[in-house]
Amino acid sequence: MLTRHGLILHVQRDDRLHVSISGNKWRKLKYVLRQALSERATGLLSFGGAWSNHLHALAAAGHALGLPTVGVVRGEPEYAANPTLTDARAWGMALEFVDRQGYRRRHDSGFLAELAARYPGFYLIPEGGSCALALPGVAELWRELPACDRLVLPVASGGTLAGLLSARPERTVITGYAVLKGQGWLADTVCGLHPPAAGDAGWQLRLDHHGGGYAKCRDADRRAIVELSHTLNLPLEPVYSGKAMLGLFRDIEAGHYTSGSHLVFLHTGGLQGARSYTSVKRSGQAK
């Protein structure tokens, strides 16, 4: 199909960046961790869902650095037994479970002050690791990429996209596939993290490929992702890489990409989270 549409597709395998600190989370954490160390933080605290790639990566990083970690998790304490949080606990992460309502307070200064008082000296990292210090680590990715007309990636909290935009080469347009129902605010979040993005015409968000919302995946889409995974001989999971790849292929089919373009797909990792989807996991392991 790529040949028929006159396209070249290269996959940047950030899923293979590190054995336990997955893809874009490693890049986003690099300078955050450096800052925490330079401030002599006594520990690291952050927020995430029960299958969070970010908390998983943070737990592994804290373990490697000898720093205690705390994960504030949205959901029931029973989730502590799932593969993601079992790994995190094995790396020494302490977990605090909050309900949906409590989790909404994760950006709230009162809640953050309360956590800071309970964990004195801890370095607090926002959900997904998306903050100003996440950008330079992501920007370094350009040094490893081949020259291309288009860079394609999944987008959730926007930190990875903002980091890429902060060092975007003139010739490369970036297309982000929103994996959640983002609509208007997602572009604003990206611009909030990297204000020059507001005046940059070299990027776009595809908002109609979220397949029902974050971590939701229709059966037909799931089958299509497994099929793509086999065709490309590439491990994909249905939350990020699979959803974005499926969106890309549907857009290619619809003629959205100009013939003659060299596309690079950024595989942001996150395969550990796929352990919640056994069928896709199997195709991932076939690699």
Ligand X SMILES: *Cc1c(COP(=O)(O)O)cnc(C)c1O
Task: Tell me which residues are annotated as active site.
Answer: 52
Of 130, 172, 229, 283, the one binding ligand X (CB under 6 A) is 130
Which three-class secondary structure state does DSSP give residue 61?
A: helix
Structural tokens at position 81? 């037994």
Of 270, 280, 281, 283, the one binding ligand X (CB under 6 A) is 270
Of 29, 55, 72, 155, the one binding ligand X (CB under 6 A) is 155
Of 160, 166, 175, 283, the one binding ligand X (CB under 6 A) is 160
Task: Report the residue number, 97 or 240, with the smaller CB distance to ligand X.
Answer: 240
CB-count burial class (<10 Å; 0-12, 13-18, 19+) for 231: exposed
Task: Report the residue number, 24 or 172, with the smaller CB distance to ligand X.
Answer: 24
Using the contact rule CB under 6 A, the part of the chain among 76-84, 198-206, 209-217, 262-270 near ligand X is: 262-270
Using the contact rule CB under 6 A, the part of the chain among 19-27, 35-43, 59-67, 108-116 near ligand X is: 19-27
Q: How many CA atoms lie within 13 A of 121 on its CB side?
A: 9
Using the contact rule CB under 6 A, the part of the chain among 21-29, 117-125, 193-201, 253-261 near ligand X is: 21-29
Of 203, 240, 249, 257, the one binding ligand X (CB under 6 A) is 240
Task: Report the residue number, 119 or 124, with the smaller CB distance to ligand X.
Answer: 124
Using the contact rule CB under 6 A, the part of the chain among 22-30, 65-73, 99-107, 195-203 near ligand X is: 22-30
DSSP lists the bridge partners of residue 8 as 262
The verdict on 23 binding ligand X (CB under 6 A) reads yes
Torsion angle in degrees (nearest 10) through CA of 130, 12, 147, 247: -80
Q: Which amino acid makes up residue 261? A: S
Cα(94)–Cα(176) distance, integer angstroms: 33
What is the 3-state secondary structure of 108-160? Answer: CHHHHHHHHHHCCCEEECCHHHCCHHHHHHHHHHHHHCCCCCEEEEEECCCHH
Binding-site size for ligand X (CB under 6 A) equals 19
Strand order of the β-sheet with 150-155 is: 8-13, 262-267, 150-155, 173-178, 203-206
Task: Report the residue number, 69 or 272, with the smaller CB distance to ligand X.
Answer: 272
Cα(206)–Cα(286) distance, integer angstroms: 30
Query: Nearest Cα to 205, choosing from 220, 189, 194, 193?
Result: 189
Task: Report the residue number, 119 or 179, with the smaller CB distance to ligand X.
Answer: 179
CB of 178 to ligand X, least distance (A): 9
Structural tokens at position 237? 């999971």
CB of 18 to ligand X, least distance (A): 13
CB of 57 to ligand X, least distance (A): 8
Task: Report the residue number, 115 or 245, with the smaller CB distance to ligand X.
Answer: 245
Task: Write out the residues near ligand X by the rule CB under 6 A.
Answer: 23-25, 53-54, 128, 130, 154-161, 240, 268-270
